[in-house]
Amino acid sequence: MDFLFEGFLEGLNMVFQGNPAVYNAAWITLRVSFGATLIASLIGLPLGYFLASTSFPGKGFCTIVLQTLLGFPTVVIGLLVYGFLSRRGPFGFADLLFTPSGIVIGLVVLAFPIVTMFTMTAVSGIDPRAREMALTLGASPRRAAWTLFLEVRFGLISALLASFGRVASEVGIAIMLGGNIEGYTRTLTTAIALESMKGEFGFGIALGLVLLVLVFFTALLSRYVQKL
């Protein structure tokens, strides 16, 4: 028990004394997670809306594909995106491997199905006549979409928060595409993986605590939004 207790004490100590390595990793995590959620929402919100408001042959198949992507292991995403970003891959020329942008690309692949599915569910929940009504009243399709989005805004915010929580806490993509470079692509999760490898239990716990707080506030915000 001493071992556990001391680890926690050491961890808390590091957090409150402002250990630079801990906060550096937290800052990098925030940056890539924000970036990925932002881009994922630019894809996922329109796509989710489109899937919910139109019917076309193959729609069921699209939904199943998205559902599958939701359950995709992050190491597989990391591996696939590595193939694209490696110098031998089609986008090697852009030199994105082992950069924060490389991580963001992988995280977008992880996050956009989450945003899409949440959006689809939220928009499907509205009476379909609402959109027709808006169109009949002379709204442009774009305007009608905006109206519906406002109607389900809390659902959409939950979508963004859920995807943020997911990308901030994953490790496979960040380590494969970022390379865990100190002060550059070392996120909270990859730092934890490294410290546990070095047997630095306390340091790992400190990083874990910061991540926990981050995800906790995301969940809290999500809960607050849903209650509005």
Q: What residue ranges bind another protein (CB under 8 A)?
A: 31-32, 34-35, 38, 86-88, 92-93, 95, 97-101, 104, 179-182, 184, 194, 196-199
Helices (H), the chain: 2-16, 20-53, 59-70, 74-85, 100-124, 128-136, 141-151, 153-169, 172-178, 188-197, 201-227
Of 74 and 99, which has the nearer Cβ to another protein? 99
Of 51 and 214, which has the nearer Cβ to another protein? 214
Shortest Å distance, C-beta 197 to another protein: 4
Question: Are the C-beta atoms of residues 84 and 16 closer than 8 Å to each other?
Answer: no
Of 98 and 154, which has the nearer Cβ to another protein? 98
Residue written as tokens 């906790």? 216
How many residues are present in the chain? 228
Shortest Å distance, C-beta 216 to another protein: 22
Shortest Å distance, C-beta 158 to another protein: 20
Shortest Å distance, C-beta 63 to another protein: 28
Helix or strand or coil: residue 56?
coil
